[in-house]
């Protein structure tokens, strides 16, 4: 009886947690609203900037800001075209270049972007940097942060369900079931979920950079350089939060025509 009640509550929670993302048009699992998430993200971003060296006044810093503004403008055009201009009302765009050898960039929920100086030798061109920033901004626009938090909560809830269902079993049996649940949800759920987010961010990012006036085919050049830089260091795809370099590049090639077509509809023809 307890197990049935628990399952019923989970199903009800899933039904009411689904929302439609205006960019992707997909139903997404989301327990966390922007009104809850954004203030925390903004505070964490401010803390991060205080604890790290922000580069200002250089040509690279100005480039990050300029390209960021172009991506922001293309996001606004895109959402307006989709009839969802109000979607960005709570976003507070900010673009900072951080002095670090790390080859990375990220965007917090709400539009707070960081680019590490270590990635600039690989981006090389404005289009390469636009590829990176378009991808990171797309994570924020698609609410991937909130979805990952929601999925983690659901995974934890499922763990409670396993504990309830095996409560009368031996300790060894409980441990086995917990291990099986942990591995199956990680490799069969959480990691594929994250890889899907990466592909979705690539798709939206291509459209944003195309609307901003950059050639989306340059994304292939950038990711090819990334693949050369990280060759042999990445884990097998099924164990990773990201698609393999080969999978990502193949996906990009397939998505580029769609990005160009959408950019043409929005008003910029490449």
H/E segment holding residue 123: helix 120-123
The token pair that represents 140 in the structure block: 């924020």
Residues 6 or more apart in contact with residue 177 via CB below 8 angstroms: 162, 165, 166, 169
Which residue shows structure tokens 């409560």?
A: 167
Give the number of other Cβ atoms within 10 Å of residue 239's Cβ: 10
| Closest C-alpha among 256, 35, 30, 52 to residue 154 | 30
Q: Which residues pair with 28 in a beta bridge?
A: 19
Q: Per-residue DSSP letters for 69-109?
A: HHHHHHHHHHHHHTT-GGGGTT---EEEEE--S---EEEET
Is there a catalytic annotation at residue 136? yes
Of 94, 136, 200, 218, which one is the catalytic site residue? 136
- Residue 8 corresponds to which tokens in the numbers above? 């019923």
Question: Which residues have a catalytic role annotated?
Answer: 136
């Amino acid at each position: 009886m307890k197990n049935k009640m628990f399952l019923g509550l989970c199903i009800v929670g899933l039904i009411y947690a689904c929302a439609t993302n205006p960019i992707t048009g997909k139903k997404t699992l989301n327990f966390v609203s922007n009104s809850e998430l954004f203030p925390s993200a903004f505070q964490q971003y401010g803390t991060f900037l205080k604890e790290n060296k922000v580069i200002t006044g250089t040509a690279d810093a100005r480039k990050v800001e300029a390209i960021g503004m172009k991506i922001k403008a293309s996001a606004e055009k895109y959402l307006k075209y989709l009839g969802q201009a109000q979607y960005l009302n709570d976003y507070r765009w900010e673009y900072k270049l951080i002095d670090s050898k790390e080859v990375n960039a990220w965007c917090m929920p709400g539009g707070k972007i960081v680019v590490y100086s270590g990635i600039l030798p690989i981006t090389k061109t404005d289009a390469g940097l636009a590829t990176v920033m378009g991808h990171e901004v797309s994570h924020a626009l698609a609410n991937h942060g909130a979805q990952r938090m929601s999925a983690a909560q659901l995974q934890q809830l499922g763990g409670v369900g396993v504990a309830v269902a095996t409560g009368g079993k031996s300790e060894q049996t409980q441990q086995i079931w917990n291990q099986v649940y942990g591995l199956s949800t990680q490799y069969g759920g959480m990691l594929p979920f994250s890889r899907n987010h990466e592909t979705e961010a690539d798709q939206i990012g291509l459209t944003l950079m195309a609307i901003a006036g950059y050639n989306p085919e340059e994304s292939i050049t950038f990711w090819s350089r990334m693949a050369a830089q990280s060759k042999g260091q990445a884990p097998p795809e099924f164990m990773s939060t990201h698609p393999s370099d080969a999978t990502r590049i193949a996906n990009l090639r397939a998505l580029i025509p769609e990005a160009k077509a959408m950019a043409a509809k929005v008003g910029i023809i490449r």
